[in-house]
Structure 1
Amino acid sequence: MLNLAIRGHDLSEVTSLESLAEKTQAQGIQTLQLALGLSFPALLSEGRNINPGLGQLVKGTLQRKNIQVGILSCYINLIHPDRTLREAALSKFESYLRHARYFGAAMVATETGNVFPEIRYTTKNFTEAAFEEMVQGIERLTAVGEQQQMLVGIEPGLNHPLHSLDRTAQLLQRVDSAYLGIILDPTNLITSETYRSQAALVQEAFDRFGDKIIAVHLKDFQVREDQIIPVDLGTGVIDYPAICQVIAKEKPGTFVVLEETKDQAIGNAVSLIQQVLKKERESCNE
């Protein structure tokens, strides 16, 4: 049993909340990871713009089609080198935490950023100094999360200071908060040399800190010229059957977001995963 979700901005030609709800429902999905600024570029969605009325409007409109916001996205650069921009980003996330309950969300999500203004791979992210700055930012956000009783979802990735399972375990030791959770995207943690061990990576993550995993991103990919290229689920090389089996065993009902699977490919992905889960149930009943 999994709670399958999609990112709202993986649906094209969404022009209103109503069309977002209709297109989501048409794909057999009931849960969204919603990035307001990406689904609705014309909508002002900075921290000062978020308010209870907007949250209730979004929640109510989606509910009419039996759709809910599971994850509210607020992806920021926690360690932006420009201190003014960093402060603005942290303040924005804090505003999202204060208002997420009006949207009906269970958490607010972000990655950990980059030592450069843009997000890109650099070993400078892997220094102790970058890690310490990241910890300071997450401590600040989880303090607000605790006040608001709202989960802070942090997503590791190779392009960020939180770049490995070891660093993730270290973070969880440093920031001991019931409101800090991990959004695991295994595709963000592998390279063209390590991708074949992706299912083992997912199992290891659950073995080491499964109690803190609050959502999983399922992102299929192909390997081209040593690059990991995201594709629709079922058209790449991700071992989604093995990964889904691990998730269903370790954390039944958890959010599994079909990231980068778009439009009509979503329905096909849902069918593929349902087949995997059905076979797993049948084997358990034998």
Structure 2
Amino acid sequence: MIHLAIRGHDLSGEYTPKQLAQAIGAKKIKNVQFALNASFPDLSAPEKMNPGMGTFFKNEFQEQGVQIALLSCYSNLIHPEPGEREKILQKFERYLFHARYFCASMVASETGSVIAALGYSEENFSDEVFEDLIHVIQRLVRVGEKYRIMVGIEAGLNHPLYSNQRIAELIERVPSDYLGIIYDPTNLITAKTAADQVALVEEAFTLFGEKIVCLHLKDFQLSGEEVIPVPLGEGQIRYPEILQLLIKHKPYCYVVLEETKDAGIDRAVALIEGLDLKN
């Protein structure tokens, strides 16, 4: 058993909050990863957030039987410009404070890059940058502990958190129940390791399975050395085996479809419902 979710902004078109909640519910989806900046950008500034706003969105979604599972605040947490980084971290901290009103259990982000525009840089793989990231995550987790909201961190190949081993090291350095890992296997797959993707997930559960709080399920195709995201069922992700591993180790865990949009969501739901998944 899993808690299947979608990202609200993977439904194309203009929606009011009520219409978005209805559209998600119509897909037979009961959970959403909700990004204010993507779905309702005019409401996403931290100074605009307030308990009433969170309660409003919580109620709109709950009327359709949908829960806000994750509140997204995806940002460049290690932005190279100190003033801009401080604005980003303060925004994340305000999201942590207000998450309770949205009834979200965590606020989520990737780690970012030393390149302001989130570009590729081998500097991201240095121990110095990783130490910088640790200090950032320690700060956010202290705020999460204060407000009793989890900080959900997602790894990626072009980030300082680029491997299972780096994730395990982060967890060791930030030993808090309020640090959780949002695990996206495709974010860590290369053309050379694609064939070993299930072993990659098995390794993750061995190293830090108790810290995985959400699985991002993103399909992919290979074009030479490039890993290209595609809707679920159109690529090479071995999702039946990965979901079986998840159920074995983390039953009822959140599973968020990513890069699967609109009609593709219906196909993905049908594919997952057709699997013989067992505890």
TM-score (norm 2): 0.98
Once the two structures are superposed, residues 96-126 of structure 1 have per-residue CA deviations (whole angstroms, 9 ceiling, x without a partner) of: 0000010010100001110110112221101
CA distance in structure 2 between the partners assigned to 1:46 and 1:213 by the alignment: 29
SS across alignment from 1:238: coil
Structure 1: 5+ residue stretches without partners:
none
Shift of 1:44: 2.9
Aligned residues: 279
Q: Which residue of 1 aligns with 2:267?
A: 268
The one-letter code sitting in structure 2 at the alignment partner of 1:68 is Q
1:226-241 equivalent positions in 2, closer than 5 A: 226-241=225-240
1:55-66 equivalent positions in 2, closer than 5 A: 55-66=54-65
Q: Which residue of 1 aligns with 2:6?
A: 6
Shift of 1:47: 1.7
CA distance in structure 1 between the partners assigned to 2:47 and 2:67 by the alignment: 23
Q: Is 2:253 the partner of 1:243?
A: no
Q: Which residue of 1 aligns with 2:216?
A: 217
The one-letter code sitting in structure 1 at the alignment partner of 2:143 is V
CA distance in structure 2 between the partners assigned to 1:15 and 1:196 by the alignment: 40
Q: Which residue of 1 aligns with 2:80?
A: 81
Q: Which residue of 1 aligns with 2:204?
A: 205
Q: Which residue of 2 aligns with 1:98?
A: 97
1:18–1:61 Cα contact (<8 Å) kept: yes
Q: Which residue of 2 aligns with 1:257?
A: 256
Q: Is 2:128 the partner of 1:162?
A: no
Once the two structures are superposed, residues 107-158 of structure 1 have per-residue CA deviations (whole angstroms, 9 ceiling, x without a partner) of: 0000111011011222110111100110010000000000000000000111
CA distance in structure 2 between the partners assigned to 1:121 and 1:225 by the alignment: 18
Q: Which residue of 2 aligns with 1:25?
A: 25
CA distance in structure 2 between the partners assigned to 1:47 and 1:40 by the alignment: 13
Greater alpha carbon shift after TM alignment, 90-99 vs 112-121: 112-121
Question: Where do 4+ consecutive residues of structure 1 move more than 2 Å?
Answer: none
Q: Which residue of 1 aligns with 2:50?
A: 51
CA distance in structure 1 between the partners assigned to 2:277 and 2:175 by the alignment: 35
1:55–1:102 Cα contact (<8 Å) kept: yes
CA distance in structure 2 between the partners assigned to 1:14 and 1:23 by the alignment: 11
CA distance in structure 2 between the partners assigned to 1:267 and 1:155 by the alignment: 25
1:71–1:106 Cα contact (<8 Å) kept: yes
1:109–1:155 Cα contact (<8 Å) kept: yes
CA RMSD of aligned residues (A): 1.0
Q: Which residue of 1 aligns with 2:142?
A: 143
Structure 2: 5+ residue stretches without partners:
none
